[in-house]
Amino acid sequence: MFRQFQHATRGTSILVGSVLLVGLVVVVAGVVGAAAFDVAESSPTPTRPTALSLSVSGETLSITHEGGAPLDVQTLSVRISVDGESLAYQPPVPFFSARGFRPGPTGPFNAAADSRWTVGERASLELAGTNDPDITTGSSVVVRVYDDETPVAVLRATVS
């Protein structure tokens, strides 16, 4: 009788092991799937790219926010070059008075303005005679705008 019982349960351990293995695979797949969906739902939705435009009149540079998400001026940096040569003094943004620039920039570049730069707002600054190189007719001006270390825009204008 004992021998019959042994033969009757031998196949059961293989069946139980297989069921447990399949159950474990289903549980692990469910956990991984739930985690993947959670990560996909929590990813930030991409915003529209920021569109900026540059105009140069004499020694005055004006940058207009044409479209996209508002920019926090406190985290921006601006790098200007004229005919491929970087200015001797770059503007700290925001500022009121800075070496190499005339005091009182307008719009969000002014330290007294709201730090959010939104669509339609124009920021301008004027180079002082103490900054090199000079902007002259025919000069190619390039303005690079960064949010922390991330490039936001590269703007180009030729002075006419």
CATH at 138: 2.60.40
105 with 31, same domain? no
Domain that holds residue 3: 1-43
Residue 159 vs residues 52, 123, 138: alpha-carbon distances, Å? 18, 18, 5
**What gap in Å lies between CA 9 and CA 31, rounded to an integer?**
33
- Please count the structural domains in the chain: 2
13 with 61, same domain? no
**Is pLDDT of 10 > 90?**
no
33 with 68, same domain? no
38 with 64, same domain? no
Q: Give pairs for 145-149: CB < 8 Å, separation 24+.
A: 145/52, 145/63, 145/76, 145/77, 145/78, 146/76, 146/77, 146/78, 146/79, 147/71, 147/72, 147/75, 147/76, 148/75, 148/77
103 with 67, same domain? yes
Question: Considering only 5-9, 14-18, 23-27, 136-140, which range has the smallest mean pLDDT?
Answer: 5-9
38 with 58, same domain? no
Instruction: Give the mean model confidence (pLDDT) for residues 17-36.
Output: 85
122 with 67, same domain? yes
85 with 111, same domain? yes
Three-state SS at 16: helix
18 with 61, same domain? no
**What gap in Å lies between CA 37 and CA 73, rounded to an integer?**
35
**Is pLDDT of 148 > 60?**
yes
Q: What is the pLDDT of residue 30?
A: 85
**What gap in Å lies between CA 100 and CA 77, rounded to an integer?**
16
104 with 143, same domain? yes
Instruction: Give the mean model confidence (pLDDT) for residues 20-48.
Output: 74
87 with 133, same domain? yes
- Between 16 and 126, whose confidence is greater? 126
Q: pTM of the predicted model, to two decimals?
A: 0.70
